[in-house]
Structure 1
């Protein structure tokens, strides 16, 4: 693989920008439309982009592990619902920061599920990362009385989404032992679209023209983000460009500030630095065989598992 750091970094930063924009659109529509309706259109309109990626390699739906794809899609769908719920209620930057706990949960889940023994530096990184979560929580007064306008449970759902996202990464790792990445992506897109289409007649809310355009853009942005990320990791080594995935916090802060009047506080910024720092530390110290997993773990809304 030709290593082009500049191209890979630019593509990955662009992917996080499109993810931040789709989260902003989900925030706009989330107060008007059911989460499952938003996710249906997200998957439906991102499907052509998944097909575009799959067409570049051997495209096949043949599998001997349909149950694994089904389980992975169900868990991924739960993660998407949690994202819509949290971006609707939390400032974009705070939701983004809490989603970066995914690599931390990945370390914890690797013990019972993969029977791994995390190294000392990973345990230190996990401790630093979760101390960042505590800083964010203290800044919002969640340990005593939180802001009346933001329910405390929304922060816990955002944190839990990091754990669910880590679980989907585990499932992808297990499936990838026998399945190609395109097969995994295709089955996910198809199963999630079908799963969210089934309940639509019972919860359908007709969107206004503006919301309808937002739904189309949500799917398009999700698909574009996935294409950009795929190209990014095909352009450069994961260990080199992985930290640029955290540029999503910058985009989320800018969009939240100018689009929704959400000004990041000192506690959020400090906690965010601790969480991001722990993730970068793990990425830099991981052995080469484990670097792809670390990279996928920090990209919750942008990579295959989140689209």
Structure 2
């Protein structure tokens, strides 16, 4: 497939918000599985986790390329510097997130990461020139409120009598910085999908992250049991699949449309907790989850209405 064919195909499918939303939700579901495997592996050095998560993500990508008979074009690109920049930004975001997890209680680390969809919308306006109307802003903010309601009873730092320790303050700063850098990474993905195949984007990123993770080996990796190794390999497979789904999602809609569905991971986490760990949902979980779902459904409804309006406008426009 040459560049002209790729661009033509993208032009045909560039606007399909509902497909983008479905792909985003699917990617979030697989990312939740990846996070579960990483959590099951126990406390390990961040660089070691980055390597396993990235290196074994390459395998499903190669399988997909082989199935599409595009293996020989796997790394073909006219924008290598863009891929390197996306890789550097993505690895930085992962490292900051893992660092925050080692300094903060899990609920705080997760909740702070949910600043990402808001930052994606802000950066979409500043750097991509996207037009964001009040409906989308409102839905994202309402979704963030829902996530906060779910997390509120578990937030331990708010009840600390002596305030934040130095390590916790550094963790908060790292989590917010990680969310901001991750938002930039998503914008770089949105830019790359205009000319690049999803598998090429993901393969370049996985290779970049694998090299970065491997460079941390001299700083000390932990010995792994067979079970830990299996969990990390499974996390890598899930990471590769989820990355492909996420990249495809940003091909079919604006970043500001797709980003709010990051909140669905909270809903999926509640479901997994109930089914796998017998964690009974609390009132906060039910109310907050309902708000998150309502915000997502509103965006879907709004995008469907806009699609109908655009289709009607095309019918009324006379041929040139």
TM-score (norm 1): 0.69
The equivalent residue for 2:64 is: 53
Q: Would you say 1:22 and 2:22 are equivalent positions?
A: no
Map of 1:64-213 to 2, 5 A cutoff?
A: 64-85=78-99, 90=105, 101-136=115-150, 138-140=152-154, 144-146=158-160, 161-213=178-230
Q: 46, 65, 77: which is aligned to 1:35? A: 46
User: Which shifted more, 61-70 or 257-266?
Assistant: 257-266
Worse-superposed segment, 19-28 or 250-259? 250-259
Residues 157, 263 of structure 1: alpha-carbon distance in 2 compared, 3 angstrom cutoff:
farther
* Residue pairs, 1:180-259, within 5 angstroms: 180-226=197-243, 229=245, 248-257=265-274
Instruction: Summarize the Cα distance change of 1:39–1:252 in structure 2 as closer, same or farther, 3 Å threshold.
Output: same
Q: For the residues of structure 2 that align with 1:86 and 1:170, how far apart are their CA atoms?
A: 22
Q: Which moved more, 1:116-125 or 1:217-226?
A: 217-226
Gaps of 5+ in 2: 1-11, 308-320
> Structure 1 residue 135: deviation in Å?
3.4
- Give deviations 1:154-182, integer Å, cap 9, x for gaps: 67755654443322121011222333323
Helix, strand or coil at the partner of 2:182: helix
Q: Residue 165 and residue 285 in structure 1: after superposition, are their counterparts in 2 closer, same or farther (change >3 A)?
A: farther
Structure whose alpha-carbon radius of gyration is higher: 2
Q: Is the 8 A contact 2:86 2:185 kept in 1?
A: yes
Q: In structure 2, what is the Cα distance between the partners aligned to 1:134 and 1:212?
A: 34
Residue 265 of structure 1: how far off its partner (Å): 4.2
Give the number of aligned pairs: 276
CA deviation map 1:91-128 (0-9, x unaligned): 58x86676555433221111221233311212222332
On the 8 A contact 2:147/2:266 being kept in 1, the answer is: no
Q: 1:127 to 1:213 in 2, by over 3 A?
A: closer
Which of 155-164 and 59-68 deviates more?
A: 155-164
Say if 1:96 and 1:248, in contact at 8 Å, map to a contact too. no
What is the CA–CA distance in structure 1 between the aligned matches of 2:296 and 2:115, rounded to whole Å? Answer: 8
- Cα gap change, 1:223/1:61 in structure 2, threshold over 3 Å: closer, same or farther? closer
Q: Deviations over 1:249-298 (max 9, x none)?
A: 4442244456667665433543444344334433442456xxxxxxxxxx
Whether the 8 Å contact between 2:57 and 2:237 is mirrored in structure 1 is yes
Distance 2:301 2:111 in 1: 20
Report the secondary structure of 1:204's partner residue. Answer: coil
Please report the TM-score for the alignment, with normalisation by the length of structure 2. Answer: 0.66
More displaced stretch, 243-252 vs 69-78: 243-252
Cα 1:163–1:200, aligned 2, differ >3 Å: closer, same or farther?
Answer: same
Q: CA RMSD in A?
A: 4.3
Q: Is the 8 A contact 1:129 1:274 kept in 2?
A: yes
What are the Cα deviations for residues 164-203 of structure 1, in whole angstroms up to 9, with x where unaligned?
3322121011222333323212211111111111121222
Structure 1 CA distance for aligned equivalents of residues 287 and 235 of structure 2: 30
Q: 1:107 to 1:205 in 2, by over 3 A?
A: same
